Structures are given as C-alpha cells and as structure tokens.
Amino acid sequence: MRVRKPRVSVANGEMLVSGYLARLGLAAARFDKAALLRGWTPDFRVMNGDLLAFYCEVKTVQEDDWLEQEFADASTGTLVGGSRPDPTYNRISNHIHSAAGQFEAANGGREYPNVLAFVNHDLHAGVQDLVSVLTGNAYTDSGSILPWYRAYSEGRIRQEKERIHLYLWIDVDEPEPRKFWMQSHEAHHLALCAYLGIDAAQIKQI
C-alpha cells in the first residue's frame, strides 16, 4: 500500500519569507481581522518602520505528487502512470493569477509595490521555470532564445504579471532569494531596489 506524501506547510514558507525580510530591516505584518473580513488579501503588509513599504504574497511550490496519488487511488493490480505535460508551468501561472487577484483586492490602485515570493520545495522546478512563464521564452546555454512558453506568458496572466513588481524565488536549501524584476512601474521598481539594498543599474536585463 502506498501512502500519499504530506503536503508542505504553507506556514513554513511564510516564515522563510518573513525571516528574509527581517534581515533587510523590514517587518512582515499580518492583516487585521477587519481587513480579512472585508475580502481577499495578500499574506503581508511589509513595513519599513511605521511606514507601509509594499505588499507581499507567498506561494509554495510543492513537489508534484500526481503519480503518488495515482498509486493511492488505484485498485490492486491496476497499472498507473503514463505521459502528460509538465505541470510546473501551469502551477506557476496559477499562482501568479491567484496572487494578482489578492493584490488587486488590497492595493487596487497600485499605490504601493506588489511582491510575489515563491518558496520552492520541488527538486524538479527552479527559477528558470518562473522566468519562462513570465517571458514566454526558453534560454539555452548557447545563448539561443526559444519562444516555447508563450501560451503561459501571453495567456490569462499577460496583464496580471505586470501588476506584480518583483518576483522572489526561494529554494528551501538556499538562503538568498533569486529576483525577477518586472520594471513595469519605475517608482515602485526604484523603491524596491532601495528596500532590498540593490543598485538598480546593476540588474541584468533579459
């Protein structure tokens, strides 16, 4: 008998992100009950002292357990498995779509920057998958750029992805997040660079 893998705790991912923000001198503050009752919100209001700096939502990238679920649900002696499209890109796209709605509910006028943090527990996923979903491209070691993922980048998140000003990708075994900047709002971009202690001129363009 096979047992399904336990799902990774979302709270652990939120703790990783709040710890990273604390190292930058920022505080991840939960929304109060009144705000939660009014509607959908991101996870944190990130504070710089007494001032609201930006909003932050945390999404957990789980290891794909499709095959384990197939085994768990199958009758004894039944063959399971088979080929199927890589689910990684759909999962990332779904997370961006969901986060965009949460940011819109709390920060509809985009008065403050929006930051989406992915905490990755899947050994088969990486920051390059996020880049492919956002740009629609595969970037090869030879320098070629292949437009393989436009169905995601130009699909339902085509406009939503621009509402998120910074993407963080945190692999659980690496302390420093990888960063992808949309640069869709100049003032928010510069503010986030300042909060994270990054020279905007040194950001690599792709």
Ramachandran angles phi, psi of 130, nearest 5°: -65, -45
Instruction: Quickly state the pLDDT bin for 68 (edges 50, 70, 90).
Output: very low
Give the C-alpha separation, 89 to 166, whole Å.
18
Please, which contacts does 187-195 make with residues 24 or more away whose CB atoms are closer than 8 Å?
188/54, 188/110, 188/112, 188/113, 189/113, 189/165, 191/53, 191/54, 191/113, 192/54, 192/113, 192/115, 192/165, 192/166, 195/24, 195/26, 195/48, 195/53, 195/54
Please, which contacts does 46-52 make with residues 24 or more away whose CB atoms are closer than 8 Å?
46/21, 46/115, 48/195, 52/112
Span 8-28, pLDDT tens digits: 567 899 999 999 999 999 999
Q: Is residue 2 part of a domain?
A: no
Instruction: Quickly state the pLDDT bin for 4 (edges 50, 70, 90).
Output: very low
Whether the pLDDT of residue 65 is over 60: the answer is no
Q: Is residue 131 part of a domain?
A: yes
Q: Is residue 5 part of a domain?
A: no
Count of domains forming the chain: 1
> Which range marks the domain in which residue 173 is found?
10-202
Q: Considering the entire predicted model, what is its pTM?
A: 0.86
Q: Is residue 116 part of a domain?
A: yes
Span 78-113, pLDDT tens digits: 443 344 356 899 999 999 999 999 999 999 999 999
Q: Is residue 3 part of a domain?
A: no
Q: Greater confidence, 130 or 33?
A: 130
Q: Is residue 145 part of a domain?
A: yes
Q: Is residue 128 part of a domain?
A: yes
Q: Is residue 58 part of a domain?
A: yes
Beta bridge partners of residue 169, listed in sequence order: 118, 178
